[in-house]
Amino acid sequence: MNLLKSITDQICNLLLSKGINELVDLRVSNIDSCDYQINNLVKYQNHSDINLIKTNISRLLDSSDLIESHNFTENQFLNLRINANSIIQNLENVKNNVLRDNKESVIIDYGGPNIGKPLHVGHLRPLNIGRSIYLTNKIIGNDINSDIHLGDWGMPVAQIITYCELEGISFDELTINMLEEIYPNASKKYSSDNDFKEKSQETNKKLSSGEKEVFSNWKKISELTLTSLKETLLILNHDFDYWWGESSVNDLIPDMLQNLENEGKIEKDDGAFISSQITDPRILITKSDGSYLYITTDLATALLRNKQISHEKVLYVTDNRQKLHFEQLFESLSFFDFPSKEYEHVGFGTINDSNGNPLKTRDGGNLKLVDLYEQAYNYIQEINSTLSETDLHCLTNTVLTYSDLLTNRKTDYKFDLEKFTSVSGKTGIYVQYAQVRAKKLIETLSEQKPTLQIPSTPLGPLDRKLIIALANIEFHLELSLKNNEPHHLANYLYDISNAFNTFYQDSNIKKIDDDAERNQKIFITSLFIEYSHLVMSCLGITPVEKM
Ligand code: ARG
């Protein structure tokens, strides 16, 4: 933790002088009377110098302004209580404080919609989780690029093209609504009608080899999908640095396969290419008819990204069911000696209805994201009819984002609009309300953020609680980054909002006569606004103006 880094560094040196070489691990304590805990000494209970080490640490802590008190438990856990009055001065400029010294360059691959299909509820989690990981990385200063990796190539598109050709549907007159109907029909026909299947395979070959007419029809379909996709993404406040897709790597695949074959990394097996790596089962690289698989394009995509975007790490955000695909991809990338990067699959669970089944429309179809947005919008409007369109829009996105990020990404959760829009409890509405309240207070007192008077007025227990909660931001950021888990920050946002609300209700700030005391409360309130907004921006939530 940066805030207490000077202290942890000094403890580290003290330990080193007694032959103990390790990083000092500071954790948030769950004991009421203390704030942090250091566990390093537990395993050195029988160290010959343990008493001397403790005396030296005590001397150091006693002389520090930042520490109010400390104690060692019988097992040598070290408990620390912070001097909130002195720490408050270090809490300003949170945006600078969270910047990292060691920057990483990262690519995040998320969203991944497929051509011919509208964005549906299954895209909500990858979009929210991906955006939050992206923004959090940006905020701490990492160099991160997002790529949507469209599923815009291969068999599904070939089926659509073949279907249109057979049904005499003009590619110039296609609309997105037509396309959304064509896709499921074509895919049904593909599995039941052999003739259609063969024709589609034929089309797919022509597409891969860039045959002019098929390619130009593909282009029309792809542009149509992309336009509609961008419209929906705009409503939901998403954008990408790269809009590449499977189609972007088609040209790279023949050479890639040729090289791998020459190097003995892949071999023919019944017409298909399989990886020469001995795994169980063996990894299939192309199909027996020579057509490409999901893994073929993902391998080539790694090559394209290597050429075009400088990076050390790649994150793939897809649902848990694709775990095996990514295991095989990462195995193969390493076996094929592709430039070595850190690869990680960021998996997530499903969104279910109240019965625990995946959320669908009433008639069992895929629930479109625009429809889900509209449902939530209307619901919030009913509860609060005085909100402006802009604020309603903002709150709708807050609800769809916050409730989604609150659960650990690996677990499924139940979609419950009533619960998610409640004004109390862990909801997007609650956290927005807290920051609106804080802004309003500052506005009505028409004060700018005052400078802190030193020495400051003694802090009450609720002031203290809020300040310590704000100071803890680094822990939650750290956890969220380390595990690519936005829920740590989503829960933290609730914690600070809750701490602020209790502080606010208790203080009656408007009625405080003493200037110094009032200023201090306003100072703390503005700190809360800064922190709440920073966490919101990590989550992809825009602070609402009025509620
Ligand atoms: N289009 C894929 C799907 O619908 C997701 C793509 C994820 N990214 C990747 N590089 N494979 O499941």
pLDDT above 90 for 451: no
404 close to ligand 1 (CB < 6 Angstrom): no
Q: Which of 205, 140, 191, 547 is nearest to 380 (CA)?
A: 547
**What does the pLDDT read at residue 332?**
98
Q: Is 156 in the pocket of ligand 1 (CB under 6 A)?
A: no
- Angle at the Cα of 425 from the Cα atoms of 421 and 429, rounded to 5 degrees: 35
Q: What is the pTM of this model?
A: 0.95
Amino acid (1-letter code) at residue 350? T
pLDDT at position 364 is 78
C-alpha–C-alpha distance, residues 250 and 296, integer Å: 10
Q: Is the CB of 494 under 6 A from ligand 1?
A: no
Task: Write the CA distances from 166 to 163, 171, 173, 186, 214, integer angstroms.
Answer: 5, 12, 15, 11, 13
Rounded CA separation 26/472 (Å): 11
The number of the ligand 1 atom at minimal distance from the alpha carbon of 329 is 11
Give 317 Cα–ligand 1 centroid separation in angstroms.
8
In this predicted structure, the answer to whether residue 409 has a pLDDT above a threshold of 70 is yes
Nearest-angstrom CA–CA distance, 70 and 58: 8
Query: Is any ligand 1 atom within 6 A of the Cβ of residue 316?
Result: yes
Q: Calculate what percentage of the chain has a pLDDT beyond 90.
A: 86
Asked if pLDDT for residue 295 goes beyond 70, the answer is yes
Structure tokens at 137: 């990385």
* 392 within 8 A of 380, measured Cβ to Cβ: yes
Query: What single DSSP character describes residue 284?
Result: B
Q: What is the pLDDT of residue 290?
A: 85
Q: What is the pLDDT of residue 49?
A: 93
Question: Could you report the per-residue pLDDT of 347-379, keeping only the tens digit for each?
Answer: 999 999 999 998 988 877 889 999 999 999 999
**For 25, how many CA atoms within 13 A lie in the half-sphere containing its CB?**
7
How far, in Å, is the centroid of ligand 1 from the Cα of 299?
13
- For residue 450, the model assigns a pLDDT of 76
Residue 116: its pLDDT value, please? 86
Distance (Å, whole) CA 217 – CA 203: 11
Give the number of the atom of ligand 1 that is nearest the alpha carbon of residue 326.
Answer: 11
Output the pLDDT for position 232: 96
Is residue 1 predicted with pLDDT exceeding 60? no
DSSP alpha helix (H) spans, 270-336: 294-308, 323-335
For ligand 1, say whether the CB of 146 is within 6 Å of any of its atoms.
no
What mean pLDDT, rounded, does the chain reach? 94
Mean pLDDT of 202-226: 94
Q: Which residues fall within 8 angstroms of residue 318, CB to CB, at 6 or more apart?
A: 110, 112, 126, 326, 345, 346, 347, 348
What pLDDT shows up at residue 501?
98
146 alpha carbon – ligand 1 mean position (Å): 13
Binding site membership of 149 for ligand 1 (Cβ less than 6 Å): yes
Expressed in angstroms and rounded, the spacing between residue 398 Cα and the centre of ligand 1 is 25
So what's the pLDDT on residue 93? 87
**Atom 7 of ligand 1, residue of closest alpha carbon:** 112
State whether the beta carbon of 152 lies less than 6 angstroms from ligand 1: no
Q: What residue's CA is closest to ligand 1, atom 2?
A: 112
How many A from CA of 104 to the centre of ligand 1? 24
| Spacing, Cα 303 to ligand 1 middle (Å) | 17
427 backbone dihedrals φ, ψ, rounded to 5° = -135, 160
Distance 347 CA to ligand 1 centre (A): 12
Ligand 1 atom with minimal separation from the 319 CA: 12
- Residue 326 in contact with ligand 1 by CB distance below 6 A: no
Could you count the other beta carbons within 10 Å of the beta carbon of residue 547? 17
Pocket test for ligand 1, best of 152, 249, 318 (most atoms within 8 A of CB): 318
Q: What is the DSSP string of 146-196?
A: EE--BB-SSHHHHHHHHHHHHHT--TTS--HHHHHHHHHHHHHHHHH-HHH
- Counting from 1 in the atom list of ligand 1, the atom nearest the Cα of 298 is 10
Q: How confident is the model at residue 455 (pLDDT cuts 50, 70, 90)?
A: low
pLDDT of 403 higher than 60: yes
Asked if pLDDT for residue 438 goes beyond 70, the answer is yes
Nearest to 538 by CA among 495, 480, 497: 480
At 24-49, the pLDDT tens digits run: 999 999 898 999 999 999 999 999 99
Q: Is the CB of 320 under 6 A from ligand 1?
A: no
Distance 112 CA to ligand 1 centre (A): 5
Answer yes or no: is pLDDT of 453 > 80: no
Residue 218 has pLDDT above 80, yes or no: yes
Q: What percent of the chain lies above the pLDDT cut of 70? A: 99
486 lines ligand 1 (CB under 6 A): no
| Residue at token pair 């990858």 | 126
Report the pLDDT value the prediction gives residue 448, as an integer from 0 to 100: 67
Is the Cβ atom of 109 under 6 angstroms away from ligand 1? yes
pLDDT digits (tens, 9 = 90+) for 162-206: 999 999 999 999 999 999 999 999 999 999 999 999 999 999 999
Residue 447 clears pLDDT 80, i.e. is over it: no
The token pair at 197 is 């299947």
**Run of H or E residues at 462:** helix 461-471
147 lines ligand 1 (CB under 6 A): no
Residue 169 CA, ligand 1 centroid: distance in Å: 28
Q: How far is CA 118 from CA 114, 176, 182, 225, 353, in A?
A: 8, 8, 12, 8, 20
Verify cis geometry, omega within 30 degrees of 0, for the bond prior to 113.
no
Pocket test for ligand 1, best of 149, 293, 330 (most atoms within 8 A of CB): 149
Asked if residue 105 has its Cβ within 6 Å of ligand 1, the reply is no
> How many whole angstroms from 152 Cα to the centroid of ligand 1?
10
Whether the pLDDT of residue 209 is over 90: the answer is no
266: which strand partners? 275
Taking the CA of residue 114 as reference, the ligand 1 atom at the shortest distance is 1
With H, G, I as helix, E, B as strand and everything else as coil, classify residue 275: strand
